[in-house]
Amino acid sequence: MRSTIHIAVATLVACCAAGCGNLENAPFRVGTVHGQLTESDPSVAMVSLVGQPGVSSHVDADGRFTLENVPTGMAELFIIATTEKAARVQVRVLGGQSVQVQPVAPTPAGFLDVHVKTTNGFRLSAAEASVEGTPFQRLLLDAKGRLRVGPLPDGCYTVTVTALGFPATQVQGCAGPGEKKELKVELVVDESLLEQGCQEIGCEEGLVCAPNKKCLECIGNAHCGEGLTCKGNRCEGPGPLCAPCTGDWQCAAGAQCEVLPEGSAACATLCGGGDDAPPSDQTPPDEDGAAQCAPGFTCQSGRCLPDAANFAGCHALRRMDAPCTDDASCHELGLLEGRCVSGACTAPCATDLDCPGSRRCVDSSAGRVCQAGT
């Protein structure tokens, strides 16, 4: 009898060690992690496992979290605390046990500004970005191929971008505390669709599909903006200040095509008196030789841009004269102090120097506003 008991115990020990039979040893391969954040917003806060974002936990109102089914061994927690703060914490997990981590103090997070372009000017469709090993999966890009990913704890990440008609493309990017780092991605069209060209895929905004199945800037003047002419399938200047552009050739003398803080490119003159700020007819130099800005524009970060008191950027300036029903509809277009006068948006002014382009400051039912010159 005694030998039988000894054999049974030996068999049980062997089975526990080797995982044999029907005995469940899974609990010994995972553990539980408990912790608390010193700062958090329960509406966005979450904790996940780097490399296994499916292992995740929400954070309660007191900043506490419980992460279950964490594989044994060294693990790293990916923590989103608020819309602006995050953290990464390493922890050793023991099988079948609970681990209490020290209180976690989130730090300023970084962000990756993903900007996707395609070869040949083909259109992006259903474009998505995923950050490997994190909860940021299959995030949709906007129509211009842009997406801000974050908040991200300090570190380097692999981003995978996919889109219809394009093979998946991976790029690496690092974001430090408080950084907003641009991450450019170029997608090459799948060879199986290349012969079908833009007639199948379409062209990105601002390009047209030509009969030869190529995406071109223009095939006639109708495809170009105000003041531009189609020459050799390219819209050429001189375009006025704030006109959309893809190169300096589309801008008037003294201006150049600049990527603006709002994210789009437009014709602008430089200012501030540096070597990169050449004077022009629109920006006569002052006594110190520094380039000055045209009426309605002010010097902002080295560029002459629409007066920030009236306009949210070049895109807002271009909405002058847009149809409106009231002042609020003009404000929605980025005309911060916009006035709806005679069914069209305009901006308030004190003198002609407040009005961009050829507009003049005139009296109206809404006070003095900028109107097209006569």
Please say if the pLDDT value at position 275 is more than 90.
no
- Pairing of β 128-131 and β 155-163: antiparallel
CB-based burial of residue 40 (10 Å sphere; 0-12 exposed, 13-18 middle, 19+ buried)?
buried
Structure tokens at 112: 């990756």
Residues 6+ apart with CB under 8 A from 15: 21, 23
Of 98-107, 123-132, 170-179, 191-200, the poorest mean pLDDT is in 191-200
Is residue 254 predicted with pLDDT exceeding 80? Answer: yes
pLDDT at residue 17 above 50? no
Confidence of residue 374 (pLDDT cuts 50, 70, 90): low
From the number of C-beta atoms within 10 Å of its C-beta (0-12, 13-18, 19+), residue 72 rates as: middle
Q: State whether residue 139 is helix, strand or coil.
A: strand
Rounded to whole angstroms, the Cα distance separating 229 from 236 reads 5
What count of residues does the chain have? 374
For the chain, give the mean pLDDT: 84
Nearest in space to 103 (alpha carbons), one of 63, 72, 50, 69: 63
Secondary structure letter of residue 244 according to DSSP: B
User: For 287-313, how does the pLDDT look when each residue is reduced to its tens digit (9 = 90+)?
Assistant: 333 347 899 999 988 899 999 999 999
pLDDT tens for each residue of 337-368: 999 999 999 999 999 999 998 899 999 988 99
SS3 56: strand
Residue ranges in the chain assigned as alpha helix (H): 2-18, 191-194, 198-201, 314-317, 327-331
**pLDDT at 25 > cutoff 70:** no
pLDDT for res 77: 96
For domain 110-192, the question of CATH label 3.90.1530.10 is answered with no
The first and second tokens of residue 303, run together, are: 């560029």
CA angle 138, 140, 145 (to 5 degrees): 125
What pLDDT score does 194 carry? 78
Residue 19 has pLDDT above 50, yes or no: no
Pick the CATH number of 29-108 from 3.10.450.50, 3.30.70.3040, 2.60.40.10, 2.160.10.10: 2.60.40.10
What pLDDT does residue 178 have?
Answer: 93
At residue 280, the pLDDT reads: 39
DSSP structure class, residue 194: H
- Kindly report, residue by residue over 207-230, the tens digit of the pLDDT: 899 988 889 988 888 888 777 788
Please give the full DSSP string across 58-107, using - where no structure is assigned: E--TTSEEEEEEEESEEEEEEEE-SSSEEEEEEEEE-TT-EEEPPPB--E
Q: What is the pTM of this model?
A: 0.60
Domain with CATH 2.60.40.10 in the chain: 29-108
Distance CA 287, CA 283 (A): 13
Secondary structure class of 111 (helix, strand, coil): strand
Q: How far is CA 138 from CA 42, 127, 146, 243, in A?
A: 23, 9, 14, 34
Residue range(s) in the chain whose domain bears CATH number 2.60.40.1120: 110-192
Residue with the bigger pLDDT between 40 and 248: it is: 40
Q: Residue 95: which pLDDT band, with cuts at 50, 70 and 90?
A: confident
More confident residue, 268 or 4: 268
Mean pLDDT for 83-105 is 94
Max avg pLDDT among 120-124, 135-139, 163-167, 268-272: 135-139
Encoding tokens for residue 336? 């911060």
Which distant-in-sequence residues (6+ apart) come within 8 Å of 176 by Cβ?
A: 110, 154
Closest CA to 310 of 242, 244, 253: 242
Contact status, residue 340 vs residue 324, Cβ threshold 8 Å = yes
Helix or strand or coil: residue 37? strand
Distance CA 270, CA 251 (A): 13
The angle subtended at Cα 273 by Cα 245 and Cα 337, nearest 5°, is 60
Please state, in angstroms and rounded to a whole number, the distance separating the CA atoms of residues 143 and 115.
11
Are 123 and 202 contacting, i.e. CB atoms less than 8 angstroms apart?
yes
Rounded distance between C-alpha atoms, residue 4 and residue 51, angstroms: 47
How far is the C-alpha of 165 from the C-alpha of 193, rounded, in Å? 7
Task: Give the mean model confidence (pLDDT) for residues 167-182.
Answer: 94
